[in-house]
Chains A and B, each alone.
Chain A
C-alpha cells in the first residue's frame, strides 16, 4: 500500500529472469528504442475510491480484484516496426510471485488519469487479448509480445487482469528506471517489412493546409510563427483573433501585415471575437477582402486537391444571426455538406466546442455546427480562442470516443498571443501544450490526413499522426 523504494537498490543482486527472448532472424540492422510508461496505475475493488498512481507497485489479482493500466507513447520511430515487446518486472517482495502473471489486453482509452483513476472510475479494458503470462517469480523480468498492437508512433494503453486469487505484483514507473515497465520497439532488421499501415503515399502532390489562431499583437510570438510559414507551402488558415486587441484596420496593418501578412495571398481566414471588437469586423473584412467571404456572413467553403472540402464558419454568433440549428448559417452548412461529393471534410472556426483551457470554457453555442458535421461524416474540426494547442481523439458530438465516425477536434490557439494554462483536462484530450508557439500543418491525402504541430524555432514540442477519412 505504501510507496516502495527499497527495491530500487535491491534488484541488482538477484538474477533477472527473461522469458520469450526470441527475436526474428536477421537482426543485424535492427534498431531498438525503449520507452518508459507515460502513466501506470492499478485499481482495487476492496478500496474502490483509492488511487495508487504514485505507488511504486502495480498489482493484478482476482481476490481482491486488482487491475493494472499501462500507457506508452511511442515517438520518433521511423521505418517499419518489426517487433514490440512489453517488459514488466515483478516486485522484489514476498508475495509478488503468482501462478498467473495476468492477461494483457488492448484498451481504447488512452486518456485515463494516472493520479485520478480508481476502481469506481476505471477505464474499460475493452480490447483484444495480447498475451497471457503464466507463473511469475519474485524479482524477475517478463515479456509480452505486443507487435500486433503497437504498429508505429502513437499512444497505446494496455490493461492487465488476472483470474487467479494469487495476485502478482509488478514494479511501476515510480520504482525507477531499473525496474519500471518498458516498451521495446524494434524497427528494421531482417524481418519482412510489415504491410505499413496506410503508409501515406508521400508524393509531393498532396495539398497542405497550415496555420493557427490567436496571432498578431505587439509581442514576438506572431513573428516566430510567421517564420514557420515561410518554409511551409500550401494554403494558410487562421482560426480567429487575427489581431489584438480590437480588430482595427490599424492593428491589421501594424501587427498582422508585417508577419502573417507575408502569406496573405494564400490565406483563407477565420474571424474571432477580437476581430469583432471592431463593429462588423470591418478591419478584418477590409484587410482580407474576398478571401474572407461575404462580410455579412464570414462563413464560406472551398475545395483543396481533388478529395478535400474545407468549411470556414463564423462562431461570433451574435454577429451573424446566431449559430442555432435553425440559423441561416447552420442551414447553409447543412446544404453545403449535402452538396459535397468529396470524401474528406475539414471545418474550422474560432470558439472551441471542446477545450481543456483554463480561460475559456467549452462553448455549447457551436454544438449545432458539430452535430451537422458529424451527421455528414466530416473528419476534423480546427478552432482557437484558448491560447494553447490541444488535440482530441475522434469523438462524437457529446465528446465520447467514436473511432468509426468521430471527428478529431483541435484547438490551435498557438499562433502568437501569450499562452493560457489548462484547467480540468477533458475526456479524450490526447495531446496538449501551453508553452510553445507553433502552427498546425495538415497534409491532405486522398483518403486520410496527417497532422503535425510545427513548433517555433528552438522548441521541441511535437505532435503528429495520421487518421483516415470516413
Chain B
C-alpha cells in the first residue's frame, strides 16, 4: 500500500469512526451500550462474523487474529456492499426483528417479525434482504418444523412477508399445499432472480424464483440452503445424505449449466447456508457438541481440505 492510499484509508476510517461514535449509541440494537466504532478499525478487507451473537469483524488476512467485537446482538447476520442485516434475538418482551444497517451499523429499516432466526442473506448489491425464521404452531408440517421466509427490497421498500404467497410451479404444474415451507434464499446479480428451498409433501426442492413476478418453479430435489456463487454459475448447498436429512448433510456444489454436482471435501455434516468467500472458496459454520460455532472454508471445486477460518464464530459475510 502506498502512503497516500494509507492516509486516505485512515482518513476515511477515522471519519466513519467519528460518525459511529456520534450516532452509534442511539441506533444500536436493544441492549447495546457501547460504541460500535471498533468494527471499523484496522486496514484491509474484513470478514464479518457473529461471535456468539455479537456482531464482529476479523481481518481477512488474519482471520484468527484479534477480533473487533461490537455490542450489536444478532442471532443471524449477513452483509454485502453497503448493507449489514441482522436478525435480533428474541427477548423477554420482544420478538425478533430484521434490522438493516449501513456499514457504520446505523440502523435503517427495522421490521418486527415473529419466529426464531434461522437464515439471512443480503444480495451482492446490498439491495435485497431475505430471511428465514422457525415458527411454531404449524402442526400440519410433515417435516416436524415450520419456517417462514420473507424478502425486503431496500430500494423500493417492498416487503414480502412469506414466500408461501408466491405462485408455485412444481414439476411443471401449478401447485398448492398447506404444508409448503421455504427456507434459505439467495439472490442473483439482477436482484430479481433468486433461489431457495421449497419443502412440501416430504420433498425438498431447489426452486428458482422471480421476485417481481411473484413466482417460483422447482428445479431439482434434495438441494437445501442454496448459495449462488459470485459469478452466478454455481450453487453451494447442503445435500441430505442419502436424501434423508436425519442422516446429515454433505456440503456440495451444483453447476447450474450442466447439472453436475460436486461434493466438497468437508465430510462432517454441515447444517448451514454456505457462503462464497470468492469464486473458488466456500465458507460455512460447523458446531461442536457444546454449541461452539467455528467458521471453516473449503475449495469450491472439490478436493483440498477444510481449513478452520474463524474460531468461535458463525454467520460469515
Contact = CB atoms under 8 A, between A and B. Distances in A.
A244 B142 CA distance: 11
A364 B56 CA distance: 28
A277 B69 contact: no
Interface string B245-265: 010000000000000000000
Given A54-B64, A115-B313, A49 B52 contact: no
B291 A356 contact: yes
A367 B52 CA distance: 24
A426 B273 CA distance: 23
A462 to B, nearest CB: 12
A10 interface: no
B66 A120 contact: no
Contact of A461 (B62, B134, B287, B289): B289
Interface stretch (B34-42, B179-187, B298-306): B34-42
21 contacts: A47-B38, A51-B66, A51-B67, A51-B69, A54-B64, A54-B67, A113-B312, A114-B312, A115-B51, A115-B312, A116-B51, A116-B56, A116-B69, A116-B312, A359-B145, A360-B134, A360-B136, A367-B92, A398-B92, A434-B287, A436-B289
A253 interface: no
A422 B62 CA distance: 27
A421 interface: yes
A49 B35 contact: yes
A435 B289 contact: yes
Interface of B: 34-39, 41, 50-54, 56, 62, 64-71, 73, 75, 89-90, 92-93, 96, 116-118, 134, 136, 139, 144-145, 246, 271, 287, 289-291, 311-313
Give the residue among A362, A422, A432 with the most B Cβ atoms within 10 A. A422
Contact of A245 (B69, B136, B144): B144
Interface string A215-239: 0000100000000000000000000
Contact of B90 (A120, A362, A367): A362
A422 B92 contact: no
Given A47-B38, A367-B92, 10 more contacts: A3-B62, A50-B67, A53-B67, A54-B311, A113-B51, A120-B69, A121-B71, A364-B93, A421-B291, A434-B287
Contacts of B70: 49
A107 B297 CA distance: 36
A221 to B, nearest CB: 11
A118 B69 contact: yes
Contacts of B35: 48-49
CB-based closest 8 A-B pairs: A49-B38, A422-B291, A115-B312, A424-B53, A116-B51, A361-B90, A120-B34, A435-B289
Interface of A: 1-3, 47-55, 113-116, 118, 120-121, 219, 244-245, 273, 277, 356, 358-362, 364, 367, 398, 418, 421-425, 431-436, 461
A1 B90 CA distance: 35
Given A356-B291, A361-B116, A51 B62 contact: no
Contacts of A51: 51, 56, 66-69
Contact of B54 (A52, A116, A244, A435): A116
Contacts of B313: 115
Given A113-B51, A116-B52, A120-B71, A49 B289 contact: no
Nearest to A418: B246
A277 B313 CA distance: 37
Main secondary structure of the interface of A (DSSP, over half): loop
Nearest to A2: B65
Contacts of B56: 51, 116
Contacts of A3: 62, 64-65
A53 B38 contact: no
B287 A49 contact: no
A398 B92 CA distance: 8
A433 B290 contact: yes
A49 B136 contact: no
A424 B38 contact: no
Contact of A359 (B62, B90, B116, B139): B116
Given A2-B65, A277-B139, A424-B53, A432 B290 contact: yes
A49 B71 CA distance: 9
Chain B CB within 10 A, most for which of A48, A54, A435: A54
Contacts of B271: 421
Nearest to A277: B139
A421 B53 CA distance: 15
Contacts of B34: 48-49, 120-121
Nearest to A399: B92
A41 to B, nearest CB: 10
Nearest to B139: A277
B52 A50 contact: no
A242 to B, nearest CB: 15
Given A49-B41, A50-B68, A359-B134, A421 B144 contact: no
A172 to B, nearest CB: 13
B65 A49 contact: no
A241 to B, nearest CB: 10
A417 B287 CA distance: 19
A356 B118 CA distance: 13
A288 B253 CA distance: 49
Given A362-B90, A424-B89, A115 B311 contact: yes
A49 B66 contact: no
A463 to B, nearest CB: 10
Nearest to A219: B246
B92 A364 contact: yes
A402 B172 CA distance: 60
A432 B290 CA distance: 5
Contacts of A121: 34, 54, 69, 71
Contacts of B75: 423-424
A52 B52 contact: no
A442 to B, nearest CB: 22
A246 to B, nearest CB: 8
Nearest to A53: B312
Contacts of A423: 53, 75, 116-117
Nearest to A120: B34
Contacts of A116: 51-52, 54, 56, 69, 312
Contacts of B50: 424
A118 B38 CA distance: 11
A368 to B, nearest CB: 12
B20 to A, nearest CB: 11
A283 to B, nearest CB: 14
A26 to B, nearest CB: 39
A421 B287 contact: yes
A249 to B, nearest CB: 17
A251 B294 CA distance: 38
A460 to B, nearest CB: 10
Contacts of B67: 50-51, 53-54, 115
A273 B89 CA distance: 23
